């Protein structure tokens, strides 16, 4: 009989920090070696989704080949192995964001699901009354706007918006003015997916807490680029997606302080979140199980755990420093091109560049440079209020990860000049 190793045993990764070498890192990501339209792929759409290292892909294949079973309820060997792997992933998330307990880590389908979880449970818990207020910012992703609008429609609450300046930074004085005795939640993005702005999250949280207001942080664009410590931030809730973190799609995390999660009712009903069920009534499991109804995305959770283990081999200081180099290098070259306007020029910024080219639609920019194998995003990036703020209908967006290179940026810049020549 063949003895099959478990996922963690099968995926060999050095627990020590690896020396930051982008050429070696690129070897970990098989898709970066392919060609598109006969040209080497230049993948600059990392704000939409990141690519996956071999160890993540292998872990998911390994699970389906050797460990596939439902979790938590089975007593047989495969179920116990799968349960252990899935719950080990929860532990890795807990350590990654420095939560106090694994019970504060809820697996979701992604950032959007996490925001909706909180909005729906707050609504059902009668934590909001008519006229109460929720504060967001002008730079939010639609996922951190629409759930609150739906809640406001149901509870007749009021959504207030922190304005931003021309550089794409929230105006802190205006934020302070929005806070009132009726403010029940501040829900704000950590790092803008469109502008690249890194918000002063700690200051936002401290101001809210001075007024006894809980805070939700959308960290979807932050977790892959800088270290997030929920205890240091003292945020009350935090959400992010696995696929922005070099993990699989369909898996995400909602962190919440235990005392707050315990006050919220279940989000969905079904298996795994119950303790007892009768036709007369049902009792529920403790957190996090209370919020995880049904068979979860088991392989997604395992893949996310492996992605975190992979990322932990590197220093976030090295990652941030390198990505800042890429941002500076690309920004300087783009500003030398006549007709390019960069949308989002905050002093603290992640490796995201949204831009327009005079007289050329962003879709045309994206289509033409795709012929050279370059993948960027075009459109409103699920941030239509930002587009309106800057009086544009869409932008092109290049977003970098730690596996991108300056050579790739050179190819991108050359392609932009090609675009100008075609339309010139």
**How far, CA to CA in Å, does 267 sit from each of 90, 125, 288, 317, 322?**
19, 10, 11, 37, 40
Q: Coil, strand or helix: which one is 295?
A: coil
Q: Which of 123, 152, 235, 382 is catalytic?
A: 382
Query: Residue 185 belongs to what H/E stretch?
Result: strand 183-189
Q: Which of 403, 372, 370, 369 is nearest to 39 (CA)?
A: 372
Q: Which of 53, 92, 406, 88 is nearest to 246 (CA)?
A: 53
**CA pair distance 358, 416, nearest whole angstrom:** 12
Phi (first) and psi of residue 279, to 5 degrees: -70, -15
Active site residue 382: yes
Do 86 and 298 form a contact (C-beta atoms < 8 A)? yes
Cross-strand partners of 6: none
Buried b (16+ CB within 10 A) or exposed e, 357-382: beebebebbbebbbebbbbbbbbbbb
Q: Which of 8, 156, 206, 13 is nearest to 89 (CA)?
A: 8
Q: Coil, strand or helix: which one is 191?
A: strand
Do 225 and 191 form a contact (C-beta atoms < 8 A)? yes
Two tokens, residue 256? 């919440």
Residues labelled catalytic: 382
């Amino acid at each position: 009989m063949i003895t099959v190793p478990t996922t963690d045993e099968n995926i060999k990764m050095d627990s020590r920090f690896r020396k930051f070498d982008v050429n070696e890192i690129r070897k970990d990501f098989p898709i970066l070696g392919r060609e598109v339209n006969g040209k080497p792929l230049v993948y600059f759409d990392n704000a939409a989704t990141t690519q996956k290292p071999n160890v993540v892909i292998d872990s998911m294949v390994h699970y389906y080949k050797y460990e596939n079973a439902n979790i938590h309820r089975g007593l047989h060997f495969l179920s116990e192995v799968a349960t252990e792997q899935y719950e080990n992933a929860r532990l890795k998330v807990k350590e990654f964001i420095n939560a106090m307990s694994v019970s504060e880590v809820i697996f979701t389908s992604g950032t959007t699901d996490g925001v909706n979880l909180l909005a729906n449970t707050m609504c059902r818990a009668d934590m909001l009354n008519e006229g109460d207020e929720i504060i967001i910012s002008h730079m939010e992703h639609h996922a951190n706007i629409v759930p609150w609008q739906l809640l406001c429609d149901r509870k007749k609450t009021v959504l207030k918006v922190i304005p931003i300046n021309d550089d794409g930074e929230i105006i802190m004085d205006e934020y302070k003015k929005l806070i009132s005795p009726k403010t029940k939640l501040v829900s704000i993005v950590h790092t803008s997916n469109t502008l690249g702005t890194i918000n002063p999250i700690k200051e936002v949280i401290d101001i809210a807490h001075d007024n006894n207001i809980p805070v939700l942080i959308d960290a979807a664009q932050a977790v892959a680029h800088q270290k997030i410590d929920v205890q240091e931030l003292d945020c009350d809730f935090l959400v992010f997606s696995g696929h922005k973190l070099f993990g699989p799609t369909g898996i995400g995390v909602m962190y919440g302080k235990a005392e707050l999660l315990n006050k919220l009712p279940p989000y969905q009903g079904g298996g795994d979140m119950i303790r007892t069920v009768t036709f007369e009534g049902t009792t529920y499991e403790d957190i996090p199980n209370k919020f995880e109804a049904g068979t979860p995305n088991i392989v997604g959770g395992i893949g996310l755990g492996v992605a975190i283990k992979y990322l932990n081999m590197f220093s976030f200081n090295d990652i941030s420093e390198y990505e800042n180099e890429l941002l500076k290098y690309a920004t300087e070259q783009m500003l030398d091109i006549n007709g390019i306007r960069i949308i989002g020029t905050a002093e603290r910024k992640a490796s995201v560049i949204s831009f327009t080219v005079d007289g050329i639609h962003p879709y045309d920019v994206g289509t033409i440079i795709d012929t050279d194998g370059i993948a960027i995003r075009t459109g409103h990036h699920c941030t239509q209020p930002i587009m309106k703020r800057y009086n544009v209908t869409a932008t092109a967006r290049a977003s970098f990860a730690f596996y991108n290179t300056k050579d790739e940026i050179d190819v991108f810049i050359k392609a932009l000049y090609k675009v100008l020549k075609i339309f010139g």
